[in-house]
Amino acid sequence: NAGVMQNPRHLVRRRGQEARLRCSPMKGHSHVYWYRQLPEEGLKFMVYLQKENIIDESGMPKERFSAEFPKEGPSILRIQQVVRGDSAAYFCASSPVNLVSTSGVNTGELFFGEGSRLTVL
Amino acid sequence: QKEVEQDPGPLSVPEGAIVSLNCTYSNSAFQYFMWYRQYSRKGPELLMYTYSSGNKEDGRFTAQVDKSSKYISLFIRDSQPSDSATYLCAMSARQAGTALIFGKGTTLSVSS
């Protein structure tokens, strides 16, 4: 069972260009979360999506950032007109609708991908 | 005050030592507490999950939650070099379908 797949793993962009990061959740998972990790900072929540719906985008910058999770295909985090401050690792995580562990407890566990590292020159 | 505070370390210990990692938080609505481990250049992976107050043990790892003090801990017994990683605490107010709030992470190095 493949895990959460993110691509590209590394992306270099010049200021003003666009960055597109893709995330394919684990099989059977319909919830996707995007987090950003800046150097020396923790993981910061950006957006939570289900298929064709943005559920919570309270962590998304108001401008230049957008996310989607279409009915078919991966979730995409799009950053327009990138600036140097956008350089970070962007992690995608997924969870199923109802996750019950072997102990019968819903753990609400998030399964993370290996991240996409964006460098803005 | 930040919602979740975690000492970033780094923390260096010899193999076999007992390690204590801690987080404090300010939001009394948090009920679900997790510890994630992140190896360098990798994504975080869930280590421990605890609901409300109490202890949970899994092998060499013990998670403790003290909601009255808004304080959570992760203990690692008989630490191994393979435990060298960044440990992130995370918490949420709801069981699922909600954003986790993470601490900054504590970097641990275990020397052989």
Using a CB-CB distance cutoff of 8 angstroms, which residues of chain B are in contact with residue A113? 43
pLDDT by 10-residue block (mean), chain A, 121 residues:
88 98 92 89 89 90 95 96 96 75 55 95 95
Contact A107 B46 (CB under 8 A): yes
For the sheet containing B71-76, what is the strand order? B4-6, B19-25, B71-76, B61-66, B54-58
Q: Among partner residues B6, B32, B105, which is closest to A108 by beta-carbon distance?
A: B32
Tell me the per-residue pLDDT of B37-52, one tens digit each, with 9 for 90 and over: 999 989 999 999 888 8
Nearest to A42 among B34, B49, B103 (CB): B103
